Chains A and B, each alone.
Chain A
Amino acid sequence: MKKKLVSILLTVAMTAAMLVGCGQSAPEETESSDSAAPAVESTESAAPAATESAPAVSGDKKSVVIWDYFETDAQKAMMDTLINGFNESQDEFVASHVYVPFSDYEKQLTLGIASGELPDLVIMDGCGMASFIELGLMADISDADIAWDEYIAGPMDSTMMDGKHYGIPFATNCTALFYNKDLFDAAGIAYPDENTTWDDFEKMAIALTKDGVVGFGNAGVNTDEGTFQCLQWLYTAGGSYTNIGDGIDAYKLMQRMIEEGAWTKEAVNWTQSDVNNNFMAGNIAMQQNGPWQLPGIAANAPELNYGVTVLPKRDATSGQATSILGGENMGAVNKEDASGAKAFIKYYDQTEVMVEAMKQYGSFPPKTEAAKDSYWTEDPMQKNFIQQLETSIPRGPSPAWPSYSAAIQTGFQEVMTSAKTPEQAAVDTQAAVDAVK
Chain B
Amino acid sequence: MKKTGHKLSAANLGLLFSLPALIYMMIFIGYPMIQNLILSLKNVDVYTFARPENQAFVGIDNYIALFSNANSVLPKAIINTVIFTVASIFFQFIIGFGLALLFNNKFPGCSFFRGVTMISWLLPVTVAGLLFKFMFQLNGGIINQFLTSLHILEEPIEWLLEGRTAMVAIVVANIWIGIPFNMMLILTGLTTISPEIYESAGLDGANKLQTLFMITIPMIKPAIMSVLTLGFVYTFKVFDLVWVMTKGGPVNATELVSTYAYRLSFEEFKFSEGAAAANVLFLILLVVGIFYIKTIDDNEVM
Binding site for B on A (CB under 8 A): 2-3, 6-7, 9-10, 13-14, 17-18, 20-22, 24-25, 106-107, 110, 113, 131, 134-136, 212, 221-223, 265-266, 268-269, 283, 399-400, 402-403, 406-407, 410, 413-414, 416-417, 419, 431-432, 435-436
- The residue in chain B whose Cβ has the minimal distance to the Cβ of A267 is B161
- Complex CA–CA separation, A268 to B247 (angstroms): 11
What DSSP secondary structure best describes chain B's contact surface?
Answer: loop
Contact A110 B269 (CB under 8 A): yes
Do B249 and A432 touch across chains, with their CB atoms under 8 A apart?
no
Task: A78 to B161: give the CA distance in the assembly, Å.
Answer: 38
CB of A221 within 8 A of CB of B266, answer no
Give the B interface residue count (CB, 8 A). 43
B122 at the interface (CB under 8 A from A): yes
Contacts of A417 in B (CB 8 A): 161-163, 250-251
Instruction: Say yes or no: B250 contacts A268, CB within 8 Å.
Output: yes
Excluding A17-B131, A113-B49, A134-B47, 14 further A-B contacts by CB distance (< 8 Å) are A2-B111, A9-B116, A24-B130, A110-B266, A131-B269, A222-B250, A223-B267, A266-B161, A406-B268, A410-B251, A417-B163, A417-B251, A432-B70, A436-B71
Option from B47, B160, B247 in Cβ contact (under 8 Å) with A223:
B247
Flag if A136 contacts B249 (CB, 8 Å): no
Q: Which residues of A contact B249 (CB under 8 A)?
A: 221-222, 268-269, 413
A131 to B122, CA, bound (A): 39
Write out the residue numbers on chain B whose beta carbons fall within 8 Å of the beta carbon of A266. 137-139, 161
Closest 4 CB pairs of A and B: A136-B50, A222-B249, A21-B127, A107-B266
* Closest chain A CB from B155 CB (angstroms): 12
Cβ–Cβ contact B268 & A403, under 8 A? yes
- Give the most central of B111, B123, B130, B269: most A CB within 10 Å: B269
- With a cutoff of 8 Å between Cβ atoms, the chain A residues found around residue B119 in the complex are 10, 13-14, 17
Show 21 residue pairs from A and B whose CB-CB distance is below 8 angstroms, ordered by the A residue.
A2-B111, A9-B116, A10-B118, A13-B116, A17-B119, A20-B131, A106-B267, A135-B269, A212-B139, A221-B249, A265-B158, A266-B161, A269-B246, A399-B47, A402-B267, A402-B269, A406-B267, A413-B249, A416-B250, A417-B250, A432-B71
* Minimum CB–CB distance for A223 against chain B, Å: 6
Assuming A6-B111, A131-B269, A435-B71, is B161 touching A268 (CB within 8 A)? yes
Q: Check: B213 CB closer than 8 A to any chain A CB.
A: no
**Bound Cα distance from A13 to B116, whole angstroms:** 9
B-chain residues with CB within 8 Å of residue A134 when the two chains form the complex? 46-47, 49-50
**Complex: A266 Cα to B50 Cα, angstroms:** 40
CB contacts (< 8 Å) of B265 on chain A: these are 110
Tell me if B252 is interfacial: C-beta within 8 Å of chain A.
Answer: yes
Distance, CA A435 to CA B107, complexed state (A): 63
Chain B window 248-279, contacts with chain A (Cβ cutoff 8 Å), 1 for yes, 0 for no: 11111000000000010111111000000000
Looking at the assembled complex, report how far the CB atom of B168 sits from the nearest CB atom of chain A, in whole angstroms.
15
Question: A269 to chain B: closest CB distance in Å?
Answer: 5
User: How far does the Cβ of A253 sit from chain B's closest Cβ, in whole Å?
Assistant: 19
A10-B116 contact given A432-B70, A435-B70, CB 8 Å threshold = yes
A414 contacts B123, C-beta separation under 8 Å? no
Q: Does B134 contact A (CB under 8 A)?
A: yes
Task: Name the interface residues of B156-200: CB closer than 8 Å to any CB of A.
Answer: 158, 160-163
Determine if B46 and A135 form an interchain contact, defined as CB atoms under 8 angstroms apart.
Answer: yes
Among residues of B, the one whose C-beta sits closest to the C-beta of A412 is B251
The complex places the Cα of A221 from the Cα of B250 at a distance, in Å, of: 8
User: Which of A9, A21, A432 is the most central at the interface, judged by chain B CB atoms within 10 Å of its CB?
Assistant: A21
Q: How far is the CB of A279 from chain B (nearest CB, A)?
A: 14
When distances are taken between beta carbons in the complex, the residues of chain B under 8 Å from A436 are: 71
Q: Which residues of A contact B162 (CB under 8 A)?
A: 417
Closest to A110 in B: B266
Query: Nearest chain A CB to B167's CB is how many angstroms away?
Result: 14
Task: Name B123's contact: one of A17, A25, A269 (CB within 8 Å).
Answer: A17
Per-residue 0/1 for B132-167: is the Cβ within 8 Å of any A Cβ (1 yes, 0 no)? 001001110000000000000000001011110000
**Chain B residues, CB < 8 A from A223:** 247, 267
- B160 contact set on A, CB distance < 8 A: 269
With both beta carbons as reference points, the residue of chain B lying nearest to A398 in the complex is identified as: B46
A399 touches B46 (CB 8 A): yes
A270 to chain B, nearest CB (A): 10
A406 to chain B, nearest CB (A): 6
Q: Min CB distance, B99 to chain A, in Å?
A: 17
The interface residues of chain A lying within 8 Å CB-to-CB of B137 are 266
Which of B49, B158, B247 makes the CB contact (< 8 A) with A135? B49
Closest to A403 in B: B268
Q: Does B115 contact A (CB under 8 A)?
A: yes
Assembly CA distance A347 to B156 (angstroms): 55
For residue B295, CB closer than 8 A to chain A, the reply is no
* CB-nearest residue of chain A to B271: A110
CA distance A265 to B107 in the complex (A): 49
Measured CB to CB, the closest approach of chain B to A3, in angstroms, equals: 8
Please name all residues of chain A whose beta carbon is closer than 8 Å to the beta carbon of B267 when the two chains form the complex: 106, 223, 402, 406
Smallest CB-CB separation from B115: which chain A residue?
A6
The reply to whether A14 and B122 form a contact with Cβ atoms under 8 Å apart is yes
A14 to B115, CA, bound (A): 12
A414-B161 in contact given A2-B111, A400-B46, A435-B69 (Cβ < 8 Å): no
* Neighbouring A residues of B71 by C-beta, 8 Å: 407, 432, 435-436
Q: Chain B residues near A106 (CB, 8 Å)?
A: 266-267
A136, B123: Cβ atoms closer than 8 Å:
no
B49 in contact with A283 (CB, 8 Å): no
Tell me if B28 counts as interface (CB < 8 A to partner A). no
Would you give the shortest CB distance from A240 to chain B, in whole angstroms?
A: 19
